[in-house]
Homo-oligomer: A and B are copies of this chain.
Amino acid sequence: MQNKNRQFVLARHPDGMPKESDWSLVETPIAEPGEGEILVRTLWLSVDPYMRGRIAPSKSYAKGVEIGEVMQGGGVGEVVRSRNPAFKQGDIVESMAFGWQEHVVLKPAGTRKVDPRHGPIRYALGVLGMPGLTAYFALLEVGRPRPGETVVVSAASGAVGQVVGQIAKLAGCRAVAVAGEDDKLAWCRAELGYDAGVNHKTAGDLGAAISAACPNGVDVYFDNTAGPITDAVMGLLNLRARIIQCGRVAVSNKPGPDIGLRFHGHYIVTRCRVEGFLVFDYVNRYDEGLRALGRWVKEGKLRYREDIIDGFEHMPKALIRILKGENFGKQLVKVSDEPRG
């Protein structure tokens, strides 16, 4: 086993779209696990839009990354040394507390064992992890779709969006994908079962294009982006529509505050409900969500596309990639080979 641990630490808080130079790659000695802790070798690291919020200097729902600290992020890895009887060497574990590093010392709280029999272990970062659970609870608990309703999903082929569309179809809804590339939209329709797709980069009049894809209006809007897509959907809401504010990737990289058209009048006219969502609020129900998602994956009802970059050194590039919408499917970085088993 190597003695050095490579880590990415934050070099500066980006203003606008992050650059690779906003992080520094450093080497430190591999830490020793304390009593009750485990030392884990990183196999996969997740790359998610929420990370943009963690490197902003402003207050958010979670503590942000300070200059010089290891960049935050979730991962999947192999236990190489355990000082906790609940974990043994060779176990595969998932945690939000990996950070961008090749080895990590984890505490048992928040560390979940991954059973390789349930699918590829990297699914614990996607369809059988935080993005899948986000789609499941946000759509079903906040969106409350009814059969026959129309569900519009922004960032529809992303880590969350692709699961949302498929659950909307399972719930008997019309599912409409909004994404920024025609090949993503073609795949959403052919492979995921979305009924229609709109390319927000080429549509021209975005409101008219989404309206044409939603002949009965919009009942549920699963908002992963905010920004212009949201502006266009607001004019198409049916009475008592529900808007799930899950992400805001289209505006999180804009320098300064997000200034634009405001919708208080729409709220009153449509009596819609806008609600913010964070998956951690449902931590006590993760088992329920994972059972449902796992069953659908096993039955072939839930497909999941991943976009894999090989090599720990590419972490900053991978994050910038998803902030620009260049990924196609759930973005992962392969850090080291999985153990043979």
B248-A268 in contact (CB<8A): yes
User: Quick check: is A80 within 8 A (CB to CB) of the other chain?
Assistant: no
Complex: A245 Cα to B270 Cα, angstroms: 11
Say yes or no: A269 contacts B60, CB within 8 Å.
Answer: yes
Cβ contact within 8 Å between B61 and A268: yes
Contact of B270 with A273 in the complex, beta carbons under 8 Å: no
Does A340 sit at the interface, judged by CB under 8 A? no
Q: Is A151 part of the contact surface with B, judged by Cβ < 8 Å? A: no
Q: Which of A247, A252, A264 counts the most chain B CB atoms within 10 A? A: A264
Given A60-B269, A271-B281, A275-B273, residue A245 in contact with residue B260 (CB < 8 A): no
B275 touches A264 (CB 8 A): no
CB pair A258 B259 closer than 8 Å = no
- Alpha-carbon distance between A251 and B262 when the two chains are bound, in angstroms: 10
| A215 CB contacts on chain B under 8 angstroms | none
Is the Cβ of A257 less than 8 Å from the Cβ of B267? no
Whether A245 touches B259, Cβ cut-off 8 Å, given contacts A275-B273, A275-B274, is: no
Using C-beta atoms within 8 Å of the partner chain, give the interface range for chain A: 35 or more
Do A61 and B269 touch (CB < 8 A)?
A: yes
A296 at the interface (CB under 8 A from B): no
Once the chains are docked, how many angstroms separate the CA of A261 from the CA of B264? 12
- In the complex, chain B residues whose CB is within 8 Å of the CB of A59: 269
Q: Are A230 and B264 in contact (CB under 8 A)?
A: yes
A278 cross-chain contacts in B, Cβ below 8 A = 268, 271
Report the minimum CB–CB distance from A152 to chain B (whole Å).
Answer: 16
Q: Is A29 an interface residue (CB 8 A)?
A: no
- Other contacts beyond A251-B262, A268-B276, A271-B276: 12, CB < 8 A: A226-B264, A245-B264, A245-B268, A247-B268, A252-B265, A266-B276, A267-B276, A271-B275, A271-B277, A271-B278, A272-B276, A273-B274
In the complex, whether A79 has a CB less than 8 A from a CB of chain B is no
Contact A246 B260 (CB under 8 A): no
List which A192-244 residues lie within 8 A (CB) of chain B: 223, 226, 230
Q: Is the CB of B274 within 8 A of A274?
A: yes
Chain B residues near A60: list those with CB within 8 A: 265, 269
> Can you list 27 A-B pairs with a CB-CB distance of less than 8 A?
A60-B265, A60-B269, A61-B269, A245-B264, A245-B268, A246-B268, A247-B268, A248-B264, A248-B265, A251-B264, A252-B265, A257-B261, A258-B264, A258-B265, A259-B259, A259-B260, A259-B261, A260-B260, A260-B262, A267-B275, A268-B277, A268-B278, A269-B276, A270-B276, A271-B276, A272-B275, A273-B276
Interface string of A44-86 (1 = CB under 8 A from B): 0000000001000001110000000000000000000000000
